[in-house]
């Protein structure tokens, strides 16, 4: 399996040059100016490369006394959104309803954000802590849990996270110091999970927009990938009135615009999986949610569908969208595919297995990466003997690791 390795600066793709979009150097100059205006010190060293093209390094801004990073990032988002011709946050979703079935053109880079760099593996995960606890008394189980702990996985954020700017800053800083890519999940949309096991979310639309701005401020100029709001689009019509559906679409689109305005962020909007919403219908939801401004969409988050059927579904979605978008697949728990159909067959099912480890070596240009978005061993909810959603479920972790085909 091809390993992902850390690399330096990238360059504009052929597709970007053909579209005559603002160059990365223009964006970096704008960022440098805004940092200076807000009292932030910004490294100016250039990135030297043997190949053609220009660019600036993955430099880290250093907070100066009295600086206001949140205001800075808001200004940057507005500036770059205008420069790229993107809609400003707050545009009603209804304004795009008449265009829902029209073909949308991609405005994102053709460069794969996962290529050439490892996803960050944070220490002290539930799996790693469990492994260490088991090593003395149950070494065979510890070895199985180690298969989970060794893989880089996404970091999830919601209302439980505390000050969102601070926690995201700390995580992305750690990834940058490790020379790795931060993979984050934003999971805080109002009425999240339709009141099911992962119920919660921001109190209202205004609170969510402020939360996303804080999330973006935490990333800043660093390199990151964001998976946006798992299940928010698949559950769109399950528990929301039509006006609330439009509000949710607007919130997600605003989040895409805010995050994609950052110079080194790629956003993937969650689009459920191959056995949920038919591709033509999901494509319309993605259009209204701002897929034209995002890198692409994410499939199978926290589910168990097999890779082959997910790739097929992703291709159907791409065709229905009418644009050359890309997608990623959560392969964390799909090594044995889904459980037999039944009540809550998605919730802590028995007999499942770890899927393929994270890799950008997908053999398919439409698939940017197989990643672990859901953390194997963390419960889906209080079903089948499991603890609350997100809590460690050792029995399932051991079972999935034992059943893995690697």
Active-site hit among 111, 307, 330, 380: 380
Between CA 255 and CA 373, with CA 177 as vertex, the angle to 5 degrees is 45
Give the other-Cβ count within 10 Å of 319's Cβ.
Answer: 12
The rounded distance, in Å, linking the Cα atoms of 11 and 14 is 9
**Taking Cα atoms as reference points, which of 351, 299, 357 lies closest to residue 330?**
299
Helix, coil or strand: residue 25:
helix
Crossing angle of helices 139-149/126-134, nearest 10°? Answer: 160
The rounded distance, in Å, linking the Cα atoms of 255 and 261 is 10
- Backbone torsion region of residue 302, taken as left when φ is above 0, otherwise alpha when ψ lies between -120 and 50, otherwise beta: left
Tokens of 80: 């770059």
Tokens of 162: 């505390």
Active-site hit among 111, 163, 193, 204: 193
Active-site hit among 204, 205, 231, 345: 231
The single-letter DSSP state of residue 397 is H
**Catalytic-residue membership of 193:** yes
Structural contact between residues 293 and 257, judged by C-beta atoms closer than 8 angstroms: yes
Residues in the chain: 406
**Taking Cα atoms as reference points, which of 202, 196, 153, 177 lies closest to residue 301?**
153
**Catalytic-residue membership of 231:** yes
How do 296-299 and 367-371 pair as beta strands?
A: unpaired
Q: Residues 6 or more apart from 161 whose CB is under 8 A from it?
A: 167
**Catalytic machinery residues:** 193, 231, 380
């Amino acid at each position: 399996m091809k390993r992902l390795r850390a690399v330096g600066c990238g360059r504009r793709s052929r597709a970007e040059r053909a579209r005559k979009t603002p160059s990365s150097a223009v964006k970096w100059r704008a960022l440098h100016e805004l940092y200076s205006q807000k009292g932030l010190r910004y490294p100016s060293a250039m990135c030297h490369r043997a190949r053609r093209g220009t660019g600036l390094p993955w430099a880290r801004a250093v907070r100066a006394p009295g600086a206001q990073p949140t205001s800075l990032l808001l200004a940057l988002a507005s500036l770059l959104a205008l420069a790229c011709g993107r809609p400003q946050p707050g545009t009603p979703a209804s304004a795009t309803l008449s265009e829902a079935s029209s073909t949308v053109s991609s405005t994102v880079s053709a460069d794969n954000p996962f290529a050439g760099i490892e996803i960050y593996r944070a220490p002290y995960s539930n799996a790693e802590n469990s492994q260490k606890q088991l090593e003395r008394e149950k070494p065979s189980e510890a070895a199985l849990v180690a298969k989970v702990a060794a893989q880089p996985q996404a970091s999830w954020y919601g209302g439980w996270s505390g000050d969102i700017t601070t926690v995201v800053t700390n995580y992305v800083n750690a990834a940058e110091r490790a020379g790795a890519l931060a993979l984050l999940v934003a999971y805080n949309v109002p009425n999240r999970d339709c009141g099911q096991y992962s119920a919660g979310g921001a109190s209202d639309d205004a609170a969510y927009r402020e939360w996303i701005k804080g999330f973006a401020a935490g990333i800043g100029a660093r390199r990151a990938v964001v998976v946006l709001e798992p299940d928010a689009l698949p559950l769109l019509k399950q528990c929301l009135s039509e006006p609330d559906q439009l509000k949710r679409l607007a919130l997600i689109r605003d989040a895409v615009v805010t995050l994609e305005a950052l110079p080194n962020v790629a956003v993937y909007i969650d689009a459920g999986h191959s056995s949920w919403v038919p591709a033509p219908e999901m494509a319309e939801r993605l259009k209204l949610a701002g897929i034209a401004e995002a890198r692409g969409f994410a499939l199978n988050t926290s589910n168990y569908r097999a890779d082959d059927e997910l790739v097929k579904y992703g291709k159907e979605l791409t065709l229905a969208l009418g644009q050359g978008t890309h997608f990623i697949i959560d392969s964390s728990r799909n090594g044995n595919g889904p459980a037999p159909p039944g009540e809550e067959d998605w919730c802590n099912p028995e007999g499942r297995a770890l899927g393929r480890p994270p890799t950008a070596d997908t053999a398919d240009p439409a698939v940017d990466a197989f990643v672990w978005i859901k953390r194997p061993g963390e419960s889906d909810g209080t079903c089948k003997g499991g603890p609350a959603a997100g809590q460690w479920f050792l029995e399932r972790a051991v079972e999935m690791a034992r059943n893995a085909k690697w």
